[in-house]
Amino acid sequence: MSKITVKIGALNFLNPVALASGILSHGSLLRRAAEEGAGAVVTKSLTLREREGYKTPTIVGAKAGLINAIGLANPGYKEFLKHDLPMARQGGACVIVSIAGGGVDEFRKISIAAERAGADGVELNLSCPHVKKHGLEIGSDPPLVKKIVREVRGSVKIPVHAKLGLTDNLTGSAIAAESAGADAIVAINTIRAVAIDVNAMKPVLSNTYGGLSGPAIHPIAVRCVYDLYKELSIPIIGCGGVEDSSDALEFILAGATAVQVGTAVALKGLTVFKEIAIGIDRYLDFYGFKDLREIVGLAHRR
């Protein structure tokens, strides 16, 4: 399936179907995702210090997806980079370290450490919808996005991806990230949501607010990628509700060079990566395309 290998800046993805951040936490599981066919894997978002996350319940099913508020639970960047990153790299796919800093210095410090530990790239989480001062508040501020990306880009040699969420400033923040040297934009993250238990008559999640993922957000995410493609020159990685090859192809036709899969891993298992990649390959054969690049953004030219 060489025709579906993709290049995202300096990174070579084995195929355009990557594991999204926040789904698998341990290095051994990241390795398994790569072995099962993920074209690249993204780690959980790492913070400066260990975070226990929110109390349970932290996840609830919705009619067309999941709502979660894990709270960026992670062992802290030093622990993860020391013990989990080496295991993840054994899978043979690119390993991209996701970073959730509370400010410019934290993003820069963890990025430098990730590069030294052997990460193939970093993904700046500027889009978490349920943790204050870590994510969406940052990503909705284009000048701050530009400052963070510029500082990280100037501190590491490995690729820097900016993950942005659904805000009124999405396009402006993406343009700011590109101008600051980002190698790719990842769009989008989960969307802020609330689930109410009608019998208990209160919110289900301990944090009240969580992030909605899965099929419910897919058309919104595709629209975001479609809009960003018209404004950006750097690659876009589509994320949101990818369950099968048709979902992935929507993103690619809208302008994404690759996609990330999250909720579908929990619902379908690790074989989902290979299934989607095979489906994309067969689609190209059916319509007579010789390379995936031929259809990136094709919906804009039809």
Mind listing the pLDDT tens digit for each residue in 218-255? 999 999 999 999 999 999 999 999 999 999 999 999 99
Question: Quick one: average pLDDT of 44-72?
Answer: 93
pLDDT at 302: 80
- CB-based contact 65:193 (threshold 8 Å): no
Average pLDDT over residues 58-75: 92
Range of the structural domain that residue 236 is part of: 2-301
Report the mean per-residue pLDDT for the chain: 95
Confirm whether 128 is a catalytic residue.
yes
**Would you put residue 208 in left (φ > 0), alpha (ψ -120 to 50) or beta?**
left
d(C-alpha 204, C-alpha 214), whole Å: 18
- The pLDDT assigned to 1 comes to 58
Tens of pLDDT, residue by residue over 260-293, are 999 999 889 999 999 999 999 999 999 999 999 9
Q: Does residue 36 sit in helix, strand or coil?
A: coil
The one catalytic residue in 94, 128, 224, 239 is 128
206: three-class secondary structure by DSSP: coil
**Res. 62 pLDDT band, cuts 50 70 90:** very high
How many structural domains compose the chain?
1
Which residues 6+ apart lie within 8 Å of 59 measured at CB? 66, 67, 68, 69, 70, 205, 210
Q: Identify the CATH number of the domain in which residue 13 sits.
A: 3.20.20.70
